[in-house]
Amino acid sequence: MFLWPWADRLGLQSELQYLPISAYPQQPSTARFSRCDRVALMQSVTIIGSGPAGLTAAIYTARANLSPLLIEGWQSGGQLTTTTDVENYPGFATGIMGPELMKEMRAQAERFGSEFVTGDVTAVDFAQHPFNITIDGERTIQTKTVIIATGASAIQIGLPNEKRLTGHGVSTCATCDGFFFRGKDLVVVGGGDSAMEEATFLTKFATKVSIVHRRDKLRASKIMQDRAMKNEKITFVWNSVIEDVLGQDIVTGVRIKNTVTDKTSELACAGVFVAIGHRPNTALFTGQIDMDEKGYIRTLTGTTTNVRGVFAAGDVQDSIYRQAITAAGSGCMAAMDAERFLEASD
Ligand code: NAP
């Protein structure tokens, strides 16, 4: 999912020329509460989140005549709206832009009668049924079922140039972007399973992958460590943190600081893959629903949670796969689970 205009300069394969992400309109944004005022106070299905999981749940529940209400945040569309080229979503032989894919999914959900409200859910009450959901602290609706599809956010180091060069060599998804770095030197940041997995995956394309880790011991599981350590293309830069990401329009390297000696050095690379974990967007549900120690919602059978009538789909309950297609798949499952719940309770 990379910005293509600079791909040729890097010598990356680029038969496709796409518009920059800013050329794509953001998801249609409804006026504040203009539509919320129109929605019924009692819903059968309320979906929170408008990424692939939420929109797929909307498509399926709308087609089941459940007239779902989807609450999309002020920056709707999920993580795919901040990416560019999506080449691994089945059905698009030549790829599709992330925002375009989300626009299509939204239009598909709308076509079957899904209702959209733009606003942030500020409170939920799952203690009683039907459940209460408050939007922007101003309006509370009731709903018989809830599908939570609020996603997760990749944790970033927090450097200004990391943010500026995201999509221009900085990435948080090797599966998505690794392909574009054939024959390049890359840096992976982190010492957990994600970093090992991403680095190992990236060696399919890269000439060399340097794993920069802030300690001298990895957090990753033994098997993942062994795999990375045995890989001749991977080298480890221990006790080191990234101080800056270098490059004007595209990444050209990183400045590294050794945390033991305080010495800084520069390492040339074409890409920086930040793999220091993900944070599920679940703060809102604290105390309302079972989560694991990292804050991911625990799902039991299919997408059911410990609260009957509340379902969770996509990255908010998946710390492992985290792909648009797996999120969409679990959105479909959540829709079917909600439909069955409503049938059984009628
Ligand atoms: P993680 O286990 O939390 O590891 C994060 C790594 O990033 C740690 O090594 C940590 O360093 C480092 N880190 C955190 N903040 C940092 C910062 N600001 N600057 C530099 N380094 C930083 O996260 P994860 O690797 O994404 O794994 C998350 C979960 O998913 C784990 O349970 C993992 O087992 C699982 N997972 C499984 C697989 C698989 O089985 N195929 C693949 C990926 C993930 P410290 O070690 O010093 O804390």
Report the relative pairing of strands 42-48 and 139-148 from DSSP bridges: parallel
CA dihedral 43, 48, 51, 56 (to 10 degrees): -30
Please state the domain count of the chain: 2
Q: In the listed set 218, 253, 274, which residue is the last one of a domain according to the structure?
A: 274
Nearest C-alpha neighbor of 206 from the set 229, 226, 165, 235: 235
Regarding whether 282 and 160 lie in a shared domain, the answer is no
- To the query of whether residue 337 is one of the catalytic residues in this protein, the response is no
Regarding whether 96 and 146 lie in a shared domain, the answer is yes
Q: In the listed set 274, 305, 330, which residue is the last one of a domain according to the structure?
A: 274
Reported as a single tens digit per residue, the pLDDT across 60-115 is 999 999 999 999 986 677 777 656 677 889 999 999 988 899 999 999 999 999 99
Q: Identify whether the C-beta of residue 57 lies closer than 8 Å to the C-beta of residue 331.
A: yes
Helices (H), 178-314: 193-202, 222-230
Question: What's the DSSP call for residue 196?
Answer: H
Backbone torsions φ then ψ of 92, nearest 5 degrees: -125, 90
Q: Whose CA is nearest to atom 46 of ligand 1?
A: 219
Instruction: Supply the DSSP string of 34-94, one letter for each residue.
Output: TTGGGS-SEEEEEEE--SHHHHHHHHHHHHTT---EEEE-SSTTGGGGG--EE-SSTT-TT
Regarding whether 260 and 282 lie in a shared domain, the answer is no
Q: How far apart are CA 47 and CA 149, in angstroms?
A: 7
Regarding whether 179 and 145 lie in a shared domain, the answer is no
Residue from 276, 320, 323 whose mutation best tests the ligand 1 pocket (most atoms within 8 A of CB): 276
Index of the ligand 1 atom closest to the CA of residue 155: 15
CATH assignment of the domain containing 115: 3.50.50.60
- To the query of whether residue 292 is one of the catalytic residues in this protein, the response is no
Among 7-16, 34-43, 158-167, the minimum mean pLDDT is found in 7-16
Regarding whether 113 and 66 lie in a shared domain, the answer is yes
Q: How far is the CA of 304 from the centre of ligand 1 (A)?
A: 27
Q: What is the pLDDT of residue 36?
A: 53
Task: Give the sheet arrangement for strand 240-246, strand by strand.
Answer: 240-246, 253-258, 264-268
Q: What is the pLDDT of residue 24?
A: 33
Q: Position of tokens 């305080």?
A: 262
**38 band by pLDDT with thresholds 50, 70 and 90:** low
Regarding whether 84 and 64 lie in a shared domain, the answer is yes
Reported as a single tens digit per residue, the pLDDT across 102-125 is 999 999 999 999 999 999 999 999
Reported as a single tens digit per residue, the pLDDT across 119-160 is 999 999 999 999 999 999 989 999 999 999 999 988 999 999
Index of the ligand 1 atom closest to the CA of residue 219: 46
Regarding whether 207 and 289 lie in a shared domain, the answer is no
Q: In the listed set 233, 259, 274, which residue is the last one of a domain according to the structure?
A: 274
Q: Which residues pair with 208 in a beta bridge?
A: 185
Index of the ligand 1 atom closest to the CA of residue 217: 46
- To the query of whether residue 332 is one of the catalytic residues in this protein, the response is no
Report the relative pairing of strands 115-118 and 69-72 from DSSP bridges: parallel
Amino acid at 330: S
Q: Alpha-carbon torsion 191, 290, 301, 279, what sign?
A: negative
Regarding whether 289 and 252 lie in a shared domain, the answer is no
pTM greater than the 0.85 cutoff: no
Index of the ligand 1 atom closest to the CA of residue 157: 18
Q: How far apart are CA 164 and CA 170, in angstroms?
A: 9
Q: Identify whether the C-beta of residue 313 lies closer than 8 Å to the C-beta of residue 54.
A: yes
Angle at 152 between CA 146 and CA 339, to 5 degrees: 25
3-state SS class at 237: strand
Regarding whether 170 and 131 lie in a shared domain, the answer is no
Regarding whether 147 and 289 lie in a shared domain, the answer is yes
Regarding whether 207 and 180 lie in a shared domain, the answer is yes
Q: How far is the CA of 83 from the centre of ligand 1 (A)?
A: 22
Active-site residue identified among 8, 37, 120, 177: 177
Q: How far is the CA of 195 from the centre of ligand 1 (A)?
A: 7
Chain mean pLDDT for the chain: 88
Domain that holds residue 86: 4-153+278-345
Q: How many helices (H) and strands (E) does the chain have?
A: 8, 19
Q: Identify whether the C-beta of residue 120 lies closer than 8 Å to the C-beta of residue 240.
A: no
Regarding whether 196 and 105 lie in a shared domain, the answer is no
Active-site residue identified among 8, 37, 136, 173: 173
If 0-12 CB within 10 Å is exposed, 13-18 middle and 19+ buried, where does residue 87 land?
middle
pLDDT (average), residues 41-61? 96
